[in-house]
Structure 1
Amino acid sequence: MNHLHTVTGPLSASAVRGPVLAHEHLALDLSRDTDQEAKLSPAEHAGRITAELAGLRQEYGLSLVIEMTCRGMGRDPRALARVSKDSGVAVVAATGWYYEPFHPPEVGGTSAQQLAETLIGEIDGGVGDTGIRPGVIGEVGSHGDKPSEPETRTLIAAARAAVATGLSIATHAHLGTGGLAQLELLTDVGLPAHRVSIGHQDLLDDTAVHRQLAASGAYVAFDTVGKESYHSDDARLRLLFALLEAGHADRVLLSCDISRHGYLLAEGGHGYGHLFRSFLPKARAAGVDDDLIDLMTRRNPLRFLTGATAKEI
């Protein structure tokens, strides 16, 4: 598969000439009584999000955003299509289930096979009546060292849907934990490791785990760049360089995971462009060259999405 399913239709991977943000949110609602601010409302924030993406397209050539809001997270494919058209940046939408505290009632006691069929239906036929087809399965989640029973079912369902449809899977490994258990579960269903990205690994200060994931063939997502309240970017750079020095540059994905309106540039946050404005210049200053940056920010995410080999992209 050398084309992508975007919210505005099929797109050839070869047409993506600029960088890709591998894990973001453009429309999301994870608000609850303990946290009312975890939302990106299309009605309230779409203009600011569109302006940010358009600016990044002009300044840095941003070409694609992989949008990881899935079922039960406030997903809004029509809003994604509007943002994509208005910003000029392609967007890939997702399907799947987040980690257990955010599972919608439909997960309940539903079997993994029934859940897989729900995902396959969306992937083949579009989300609801929108006609918009997801281009990735994600961010499918777990928390802790081992997935819970409902998380195990939703992860197995994701893997079965991925095998059936040819899409890749991006995970939510809560605070970076449990990635090895996620990968084992997904690959046991028959999904090749190179079709999996293990999320939030920049929040896990464990270079041995990162090397093990990468050596298996999975992608290692350093996708919360700029979220200094969780981890400093200096620590992220240290972990990134350890992975690069171990020979795994071709397994790295980078992004900022903007997941609440307070992170938006217009609201005083670091914004979607923090990767380009701050983190990558620091990496360059430490010796990373332009080809390596292109690998991590364009070729790797395209290979992840399409299942392509190094020779193909």
Structure 2
Amino acid sequence: MPINESGYTYCHEHLHIDLSKQKGDDDCKLDQFELISAELKALKTRGVFNIVEVTNKFMGRNPQFIEALTKETQMNILCSTGFYIEGFFPNALKQMSVVDIANTMIHEIDNGIDDSNLRASVIGEIGSSHNVFTDTERKVFEGAAIAHLETGCPISTHTSFSTMAKSQVELLRNMKVNLNNVSIGHCDLRDNFDDILWLLDQGCYVQFDTIGKNDYYPDAKRIAVIDSLIRRGYADRVMLSMDITRKSHLKENGGLGFCYLIDHFVPMLLERGIQQQYIDLMLKHNPANFFGTTQK
């Protein structure tokens, strides 16, 4: 079952990730099983039944950790395949052909992830750097397009500080990807309303997926943009998440925790005057449509 349509979905999260070596910061190794498990159980009591886990192989993905979390919490976790961004690529990737890159993704979708019982059902998070789309990043997107066309799995992207989304879309469109199967990540990290409208008009979904990261962009502005999109008729293309990546993001470690979106952000949406039907669209129906169906 790709998605449990009876509950809410966080569209872009990490449950085990390790970027500590590249960033020189142990806080960037999110691996505390008991704390994460407790937070997922708390999420389930709030109606969140699905987590789209967008950690791919060279971001510190740990399929056995995810299998144990699934067993412990009964959370439905969708796994991903792909390569992240420049600076986090394996050295061999630069020499790989686009077809070879595609085949590594297809293998994890069709045959499974490493030595586990998990299969990827999402191609992500694949990304571009801040204001730059490197040659290797472009190769990854071309490979992702081939893998999508072969398997039908949706594509979830990473934009560094909400930049380069147009270039991502244009590349995927040139590769004959139906843009209804593309969700652009991190659209909520700067003032870029016109860019978001352009993405939506191409048929993409957009992710407001760094909720709670007020140091980057305040939640008050996120809510204002979401409200404006709803008023313009785009509610059926917006999805929400938090992109938790650090130990310090967890509640027990002094962070906001996974429940912040439900416990604090949703009440802020309601206070703004956004009706419950739109919250259900963004957290339930849109993810079910995007991650649960494909349109080749």
- Do the aligned partners of 2:190 and 2:217 also contact (CA within 8 Å) in 1? no
- Do the aligned partners of 2:209 and 2:243 also contact (CA within 8 Å) in 1? yes
TM-score, L = length of structure 2: 0.96
- Do the aligned partners of 1:194 and 1:307 also contact (CA within 8 Å) in 2? no
Residue in 1 that maps onto 2:264: 278
Residue in 1 that maps onto 2:220: 234
C-alpha separation in 2, matches of 1:29 and 1:144 = 20
TM-score, L = length of structure 1: 0.91
1:173 pairs with 2:145: no
1:190 pairs with 2:190: no
Aligned length: 294
Shift of 1:53: 0.7
1:159 pairs with 2:145: yes
* Pairing partner for 1:292 from 275, 278, 296: 278
- Do the aligned partners of 2:5 and 2:285 also contact (CA within 8 Å) in 1? no
* Pairing partner for 2:26 from 16, 28, 36: 36
| Letter of the 2:63 counterpart | P
C-alpha separation in 2, matches of 1:252 and 1:126 = 29
Residue in 2 that maps onto 1:269: 255
1:117 pairs with 2:103: yes
Shift of 1:16: 2.6
* Pairing partner for 1:52 from 35, 39, 49: 39
C-alpha separation in 1, matches of 2:42 and 2:116 = 28
- Do the aligned partners of 1:71 and 1:104 also contact (CA within 8 Å) in 2? no
Residue in 1 that maps onto 2:136: 150
C-alpha separation in 2, matches of 1:92 and 1:229 = 28
Shift of 1:307: 3.2
C-alpha separation in 2, matches of 1:35 and 1:253 = 30
Return closer, same or farther for 1:266/1:71 CA change in 2, 3 Å cut-off.
same
C-alpha separation in 1, matches of 2:40 and 2:107 = 30
Report % sequence identity.
36
* Pairing partner for 2:11 from 22, 28, 39: 22
C-alpha separation in 2, matches of 1:187 and 1:284 = 36
Gaps of 5+ in 1: 5-12
* Pairing partner for 1:246 from 214, 222, 232: 232
Task: Tell me the SS of whatever aligns to 2:87.
Answer: helix
| Letter of the 2:283 counterpart | T
Shift of 1:308: 5.7
- Do the aligned partners of 2:63 and 2:116 also contact (CA within 8 Å) in 1? yes
Residue in 1 that maps onto 2:51: 65
- Do the aligned partners of 1:210 and 1:243 also contact (CA within 8 Å) in 2? no
* Pairing partner for 1:216 from 182, 202, 205: 202
Shift of 1:206: 1.1
C-alpha separation in 2, matches of 1:250 and 1:170 = 17
- Do the aligned partners of 2:152 and 2:294 also contact (CA within 8 Å) in 1? no
Shift of 1:36: 2.7
C-alpha separation in 1, matches of 2:135 and 2:39 = 39
Gaps of 5+ in 2: none
Task: Tell me the SS of whatever aligns to 1:16.
Answer: coil
Shift of 1:192: 0.6
Task: Tell me the SS of whatever aligns to 2:26.
Answer: coil
Shift of 1:146: 4.2
1:128-143 alignment runs, 5 A limit: 128-143=114-129
Q: Deviations over 1:96-147 (max 9, x none)?
A: 0101111112312211111001111111000122131011011101113341
| Letter of the 1:252 counterpart | V
Residue in 1 that maps onto 2:243: 257
C-alpha separation in 2, matches of 1:267 and 1:99 = 28
C-alpha separation in 2, matches of 1:191 and 1:131 = 29
Task: Tell me the SS of whatever aligns to 1:108.
Answer: helix
| Letter of the 2:201 counterpart | A
| Letter of the 1:24 counterpart | E
C-alpha separation in 1, matches of 2:10 and 2:133 = 27
Return closer, same or farther for 1:20/1:147 CA change in 2, 3 Å cut-off.
same
Task: Tell me the SS of whatever aligns to 2:270.
Answer: helix
Shift of 1:89: 1.1
